[in-house]
Amino acid sequence: MTTPTATQTPEVRYYHRFTLGQRYLHGIIIITFLGLALTGLPLRFSGAAWSVALARAVGGFGAIIFFHKLNALIMTVAFAAHVINILYRAIVRKQWGLLWGPDSLVPSLKDFKDLFAHLRWFLWLGKKPQFERYAYWDRVDYWAVFWGMGIIGFSGYAMWFAPFFARFMPGSWLNIALLIHGEEALLAVSFIFTIHYFNTHLRPQNFPMDLTIFTGRQTEQEWIEKHPEEYARLKSEGKLEELRAKQPERWLNNFGRVVGTIAFLLGFAMLYLTVVSFIKEF
Ligand code: HEM
């Protein structure tokens, strides 16, 4: 066996992390969430100069509401497809690992232990926790969408189909639905454009951008650094080679960079407008 000389670069190995279906689903969520925020915020701050300018540019607030509902429908279909897929795989194909264990996104005691160990590590009081396939913040990010779909989605549909919902609830509840929808939307926008962006892209290990969700692949080095317990588990089970992947194509990396940059810029712009417009309300 030859050892690499000073001029030879060691081989970089790539491994699959996300399937094509997971990448498409995330892509649809990126587009529709940005679409919902871009069309929802002008409704929430309809008196602001930037909202009026945007409404004029697209043909009025009626057009904004139309695009809001279109994005809501697409997001609902994607979300429902995801939930049905999980239930089918868990119940029919008996893939219990989806509901419990290291590959599951269901929180476990380890997440709480990791959170406290991480806080201790931040304060130089202990060793860095070793994360599995998903860290505790990945699970927070994932469940934030379920929470948001429940609250924002239900209140949104209640407003959309108000005459139907008014058969089952007092009319005043629909006013409350509008209030909940608007304020929860501000929370969702603030969460995604700060905490989610930081967790997945801006923290030191990933800065300036983590392309894994676009390419579906990670290098061995990234895997060992970010998910050491998962790497060690699959290595001991002899499963590493099954996950070996080709180096991501250059066009795919560039595509991820472009989409990621647009999402960043739109997100930060909307976060800025949200904070400024919210403060002006007082
Ligand atoms: C299934 C998902 C959703 C549905 C069905 C939905 C539906 C609606 C409807 C029907 C309205 C009222 C439009 C009107 O004035 O006639 C509305 C307003 C609004 N939506 Fe959504 N929406 C959804 C998701 C979202 C999301 C994810 C966000 C934020 C990212 C959002 C942000 C807003 C905001 C800020 C308003 C204005 C509320 C106000 O005027 O106080 N919506 N939505």
CATH number of the domain within which 235 lies: 1.20.950.20
Q: Is residue 259 part of a domain?
A: no
For ligand 1, atom 40, name the residue with the nearest CA: 44
- Cα separation, 21 vs 32, whole angstroms: 16
For ligand 1, atom 30, name the residue with the nearest CA: 37
Instruction: Decide: 72 in ligand 1 pocket, CB within 6 A.
Output: yes
Instruction: Decide: 182 in ligand 1 pocket, CB within 6 A.
Output: yes
Question: Which atom belonging to ligand 1 lies closest to the Cα atom of 32?
Answer: 27
CA distances, 253 to each of 197, 217, 223 (Å): 18, 10, 18
Instruction: Decide: 144 in ligand 1 pocket, CB within 6 A.
Output: no
For ligand 1, atom 13, name the residue with the nearest CA: 65
Contact 61, 42 (CB under 8 A): yes
Q: Is residue 224 part of a domain?
A: yes
Q: Which domain holds residue 126?
A: 14-30+71-245
Q: What are phi and psi of 218, to 5 degrees?
A: -135, 160
Q: Is residue 151 part of a domain?
A: yes
- Cα separation, 214 vs 195, whole angstroms: 19
pLDDT value of residue 2: 45
- In eight-state DSSP terms, residue 241 is G
Q: Is residue 65 part of a domain?
A: no
Instruction: Decide: 44 in ligand 1 pocket, CB within 6 A.
Output: yes
- Cα separation, 12 vs 248, whole angstroms: 12
pLDDT value of residue 205: 85
Instruction: Decide: 181 in ligand 1 pocket, CB within 6 A.
Output: yes
- Cα separation, 9 vs 14, whole angstroms: 15
CA–centroid distance, residue 91 to ligand 1 (Å):
33
Q: Is residue 89 part of a domain?
A: yes
For ligand 1, atom 39, name the residue with the nearest CA: 44
- Coil, helix or strand for 99? coil
- Cα separation, 29 vs 153, whole angstroms: 14
Instruction: Decide: 159 in ligand 1 pocket, CB within 6 A.
Output: yes
- Cα separation, 26 vs 115, whole angstroms: 25
pLDDT value of residue 1: 40
CA–centroid distance, residue 15 to ligand 1 (Å):
39
Q: How many CB atoms lie within 10 A of CB 90?
A: 16
CA–centroid distance, residue 103 to ligand 1 (Å):
33
pLDDT value of residue 9: 64
Q: Is residue 250 part of a domain?
A: no
Instruction: Decide: 65 in ligand 1 pocket, CB within 6 A.
Output: yes
Instruction: Decide: 178 in ligand 1 pocket, CB within 6 A.
Output: yes
pLDDT value of residue 8: 62
Q: Is residue 273 part of a domain?
A: no
Q: Is residue 194 part of a domain?
A: yes
- Coil, helix or strand for 205? coil
Give the total number of structural domains in the chain.
Answer: 1
CA–centroid distance, residue 136 to ligand 1 (Å):
29
Pocket residue to mutate for ligand 1, from 68, 77, 189, most atoms within 8 A of Cβ: 68
Q: What is the DSSP string of 22-55?
A: HHHHHHHHHHHHHHHHHHHHHHHTTTSHHHHHHH
pLDDT in tens, the chain (282 residues): 444 455 566 789 999 999 999 999 999 999 999 999 999 999 999 999 999 999 999 999 999 999 999 999 999 999 999 999 999 999 999 999 899 888 899 999 999 999 999 999 999 999 999 999 999 999 999 999 888 999 999 999 999 999 999 999 999 999 999 999 999 999 999 999 999 999 888 888 888 899 999 999 999 999 999 999 999 999 999 999 999 999 999 999 999 999 999 999 999 999 999 999 999 988
User: Could you tell me the pTM of the whole model?
Assistant: 0.93
C-alpha triplet 132, 137, 138: angle, nearest 5°: 65
